[in-house]
Amino acid sequence: MSAKMVTSDQVFKDILAKKDVFILDVRNEEEYNDWKIEGKTVTSLNIPYFDFLDGTEAHLDKLPKDKPILVVCAKEGSSKFVADQLVEAGLDASYLQGGMKEWSQYYYATPVVEEDNFKLYQVNRVSKGCLSYVVVSDGEALVLDPARHVDEYIQLAEKDGAKITHILDSHLHADHISGARDLVEKTGAKYYLMKSEGANYDHEALEDYDEIKFNNVKVEVLAVKTPGHTPGSVSFFINDKYLLSGDTIFVGGLGRPDLGGKVKEWAQDLYNTVFEKIAEIADDVLVLPAHFADIKSEMADNGIVGETLGNIRKNNEIMQTTDKDAFLAEVEKSASSVKPPNFEKIVGINRGELTPSSEEAVELEIGPNRCAVHHTA
């Protein structure tokens, strides 16, 4: 008898449904410590597959007999090898289709708002902690911060009978490859980005817009010079209710201001952003960021990563630190030195200076959710 195969979608839906998920990760220790599948109800154990070359016996006491075991490896082969042995030994084992490679390309789309002619979806690339958004109104769709697998967005829009007409990037990303240009090619939509981000391909300069009118949707462009890993980040305020905050505000904190080598100057900008621009926005506005750091604490039970601005202000000490010197000291201190993997190459690609093959793109993006480094504690 051989083990069953389970897809990334099934695994994530089990996590969402709060089912216990027991994962036996058979990659080597270093890879496991670098990144793994996480969730509130996930228990995971790392035993490399080569420890199973002499059979399962030595490990049986560490594995549950009474619940399913999901075996996970880098690309599937080794997890199947181990899962088959566990099934032979009488355990309820399955393996993850395509392994962590497939997990790194898994997207979960969920509606945040569903009104008659206004829908807002959050598209979560779970493994990377990257969030993008699709706004649909009267047959047209706007996509914000699309990731590389652009068919996800095209299919989502099609399901609502909409055509993608607007594509926006909140900033030039450093941690993942933007899907914007690919999506522009496939849809012919207009693409918006701040000119100051230095991309060397055609786009509408967001500097020229205060607002993007789009059927029933009013998208206010809050062009805040966001201290962070780029000189010009933007937040978008939709229908006065939803703040798509890019990398400026997260559920768990603020964007880090240290990636440009001008931490003092940008921390100052961040202070002005928080206490001038954001301060004017009401508490009941829902903040929908471009990243999460910790899925266990930042994703709500409905699967949405978001929080009201009021709660974010209340729960984050840094948002209450109005004393400028104290704020600057804290922000500068908490800026970590760990940078997203391959970030220089990824920035080069997003700027239009490098063109990777699709295999290279997979390799560059694979790895941990290091979006955490964008956060200040």
Determine, following the binding rule CB under 8 A, whether residue 178 of this chain makes contact with another protein: no
CB of 93 to another protein, least distance (A): 15
Q: State how far the Cα of 225 lies from the Cα of 114, in Å rounded to an integer.
A: 31
Integer Cα distance of 47 and 138 in angstroms: 52
Between CA 104 and CA 97 the distance in angstroms is: 12
Q: How far apart are CA 198 and CA 80, in angstroms?
A: 46
Q: Mapping DSSP to helix (H, G, I), strand (E, B) and coil, where does residue 38 land?
A: coil
* Range 73-132, binding another protein (CB under 8 A): 73-75, 77-78, 81
Residues between 40 and 69 that touch another protein (CB under 8 A) = 48-51, 53
- Rounded Cα distance between 365 and 250, Å, is 21
Closest CB 226 distance from another protein, rounded Å? 37
The answer to whether residues 5 and 95 touch, using CB atoms and an 8 Å cutoff, is yes
Q: DSSP of 309-327, one letter per residue?
A: HHHHHHH-HHHH--SHHHH
Residue 359 tokens, joined: 């295999």
Rounded least distance, CB 360 to another protein, Å: 13
> Which sign, positive or negative, has the C-alpha torsion 9, 10, 13, 19?
negative
How near is the Cβ of 332 to another protein at its closest, in Å?
36
- Rounded to a whole number of angstroms, the minimum distance from the CB of residue 30 to another protein is 7
Compare residues 74 and 135 and give the one whose CB is closer to another protein: 74
Is-contact 249 257, C-beta < 8 A? no
Q: Between 99 and 253, whose beta carbon lies closer to another protein?
A: 99
Nearer to another protein, 79 or 137 (CB): 79
Pairing of strands 217-222, 211-214: antiparallel
Report in angstroms how near the CB of residue 162 gets to another protein at its nearest. Answer: 40
CA pair distance 306, 79, nearest whole angstrom: 34
Strands 21-25 and 69-72: parallel
How, if at all, do strands 4-6 and 130-137 pair?
unpaired
Q: Which is nearer to another protein, 51 or 88 (CB)?
A: 51
Per-residue tokens: 254: 């603020």
One of 11, 15, 72, 73 is an active-site residue; which one? 73
140: CB partners within 8 A, 6+ apart: 162, 163, 164, 165, 166, 214, 215
Q: Record the tokens describing residue 57, joined without a space.
A: 């016996």
Per-residue mark of binding to another protein, 7-46 (x: CB under 8 A): --------------------xxxxx---------------
- Scanning 72-80, 116-124, 195-203, 328-336 for contacts with another protein by CB under 8 A, the matching segment is 72-80
| Structure-block tokens of residue 272 | 């002005």
Quick check: is 73 catalytic?
yes
In the complex with another protein, which residue's Cβ is closer, 79 or 122?
79
Residues touching another protein, count (CB under 8 A): 16
- Tell me the closest approach of the beta carbon of residue 329 to another protein, in angstroms: 41
Q: Given the structure tokens 């990303």, which residue do they identify? A: 173
- Hey, what are 298's tokens? 């930042």
**Quick one: 45 or 335, whose CB is closer to another protein?**
45
What are the catalytic residues? Answer: 73
Residues that bind another protein in the complex, under the rule CB under 8 A: 27-31, 48-51, 53, 73-75, 77-78, 81
